[in-house]
Amino acid sequence: MTVTASPATSCCDEYAGMSRRGLIRGAALLGATATFGSAVVTTSARPAAASWGAPARGTLVLLSLRGAADGLNIVVPHGDPAYYAARPRINVPKDTLLERDDFFGLHPGLKALQPMWRSGKLAAIHATGMPAPNRSHFFAMEEIEDADPGSSARTGWLNRFLGLDSNTSPLQGMHVGGGVPPTSMYGPHQVMSARAASAVKLAGDDQYAVNDGRRRSLQKLWNRDMSLLGRNVRSSFAAIDAFEPVLGVAEGPRNGATYPRSDLGTALGEVARILRGNVGVEAVTVDQGDWDMHTDMGNMSWGRMKANVTELGDAIAAFFTDLGPLADNVTLVTLSEFGRRVKENSSWGTDHGYGNVMFVAGAGVKGGKYYGRWPGLQNSLDADLTVTTDYRSVLSEVLRRRFDTSTSAVFPGFQPEDVGFMA
């Protein structure tokens, strides 16, 4: 699990420790991996298939807001009187909200997303989350990405989704950015992880490797090795070869797109480059942190919330601008492990809560609307936003409508409701 946390600003000890702990845990789980340079291919040791690098049916980008984003200040329920009563210092004033209807409005930091909202390419689903509260960052991330409550199987929902296809290419699933793939990607289906497209290469395969000597030496060492590691090495060779068209794509954004100078902006720029390579990527995970704002969330004049929301909006807008016509085949979903309490605390922040908001953007979205059933807020110390839409219903609707697939194996035992935000 990849989490970007700043020790100087993150006051939740559990969240501050997530980056190191998640890396150790991930390294322990990724038993079947071959690593070359900074690219990781997580494989099940199956041989390379002719379909590796085949065009994708579509692409789902899952953007995780790590640290539990405050959905009540991202999509503001200005029509609920308890919101302003509970947050006298950190509220978002009604007259500053964007795309305001009778009840909801967008945080002004999302200004860059207004064109997508108005063109029907962006929707918000409020009061979403897990079926039961879980206020632990570590366990909530695990549960929401595994998405199979009560099961001992070590597979994530995206890995189960990718496993439904007969194509066994590890290029179908990618984590882009730092760290190992998240729990949602873990499982028997092959996936890849890299900080950037340029990192998908053999370490040492540079100008000093005469006559392809680095590759030839590795192949000589491993080609007859029938162990799990030997088979994984050969799978990694094939994956790197299939990824080659991406490296032929020029770096840098297109269509006038300008990404924020941040980890999220960099990662989404890399995703756009990878998708232009047309090597069959169907699921991509990207992270944005740190949303764990117990302190210094601030208001519209200062604070971390305003900066994070602006970065989120600017990065998503730049991504879809960068894609150009390719955007017609890409759907992006935002997800956070849980929300925040209704009432502000004494430190200009909010504490761990329950319900949250999800955004869905791009292909197939019936946007320009707020979806979900509003449960009402209470102005009390322990009050939460109640979940009325299971997050799996949102993800199921995207998978069914965009990939024409049943989700019974992706979310075992779960019966999704039709939320109605996808065409």
Report how far Cα 264 is from the mean position of its chain's Cα atoms. 10
65-98 pLDDT tens trace? 999 999 999 999 999 999 999 999 999 999 999 9
Work out the percent of the chain whose per-residue pLDDT is above 90.
72
One-letter amino acid identity for 148?
D
Report how far Cα 422 is from the mean position of its chain's Cα atoms. 19
Work out the percent of the chain whose per-residue pLDDT is above 70.
87
396-413 pLDDT tens trace? 999 999 999 999 999 999
234-280 pLDDT tens trace? 888 888 889 999 999 999 999 999 999 999 999 999 999 999 999 99
Q: Could you please report the per-residue DSSP string of 202-237?
A: -TT-STTSGGGHHHHHHHHHHTT--SHHHHHHHHHH
Q: Could you give the CA distance from residue 240 to residue 245 in angstroms, rounded to a whole number?
A: 10
Lowest-confidence region among 21-25, 124-128, 266-270, 365-369: 21-25
Q: pLDDT averaged over the chain?
A: 88
- Specify which residues 174 forms β-bridges with: 192, 284
C-alpha distances (whole Å) from 328 to each of 245, 251, 402 are 21, 21, 11
**Cα angle 274, 143, 67; round to 5:** 70
- Burial label for 199, CB within 10 Å (0-12, 13-18, 19+), is middle
C-alpha distances (whole Å) from 211 to each of 36, 202, 216, 238 are 19, 14, 9, 19
In the predicted structure, residue 18 carries a pLDDT above the cut 80 = no
* Residue in 265, 249, 279, 275 with CA at minimum distance from that of residue 363: 275
307-322 pLDDT tens trace? 999 999 999 999 999 9
Q: Could you give the CA distance from residue 66 to residue 145 in angstroms, rounded to a whole number?
A: 12
166-214 pLDDT tens trace? 777 889 999 999 878 999 999 998 899 999 999 998 777 777 767 777 7
Q: Could you give the CA distance from residue 198 to residue 182 in angstroms, rounded to a whole number?
A: 21
One-letter amino acid identity for 178?
G
31-65 pLDDT tens trace? 333 334 445 555 444 444 455 777 788 999 999 99
Please give the pLDDT value at position 15.
67
Residue 386 CB-half CA count within 13 A: 7
Higher pLDDT, 48 or 341: 341
99-130 pLDDT tens trace? 999 999 999 999 999 999 999 999 999 999 99
In the predicted structure, residue 372 carries a pLDDT above the cut 80 = yes
Please give the pLDDT value at position 40.
55
One-letter amino acid identity for 377?
L
CA dihedral 244, 249, 252, 258 (to 10 degrees): -110
Please give the pLDDT value at position 34.
39
- 341, 377 Cβ separation under 8 angstroms: no
Ordered by where they begin, the domains of the chain are 13-403 (3.40.720)
Q: Could you please report the per-residue DSSP string of 99-141?
A: S--SS-EE-GGGGGGHHHHHTT-EEEEEEEE-SS----HHHHH
- Burial label for 304, CB within 10 Å (0-12, 13-18, 19+), is buried
Higher pLDDT, 305 or 15: 305
Widest distance between CA atoms in the chain: 71
One-letter amino acid identity for 71?
G
| Residues belonging to the chain | 423
> Which tokens is 276 given?
């232009």
**Cα angle 3, 184, 413; round to 5:** 140
Report how far Cα 141 is from the mean position of its chain's Cα atoms. 12
Q: Which SS3 state, helix, strand or coil, does residue 35 take? A: strand
Q: Could you give the CA distance from residue 177 to residue 156 in angstroms, rounded to a whole number?
A: 19
Please give the average per-residue pLDDT across 223-231, as a whole number.
83
- 272, 61 Cβ separation under 8 angstroms: no
Please give the pLDDT value at position 274.
97
Q: Could you please report the per-residue DSSP string of 21-63?
A: HHHHHHHHH--SEEEETTEEEE---PPP-TTTTPPPS-EEEEE
Please give the pLDDT value at position 236.
81
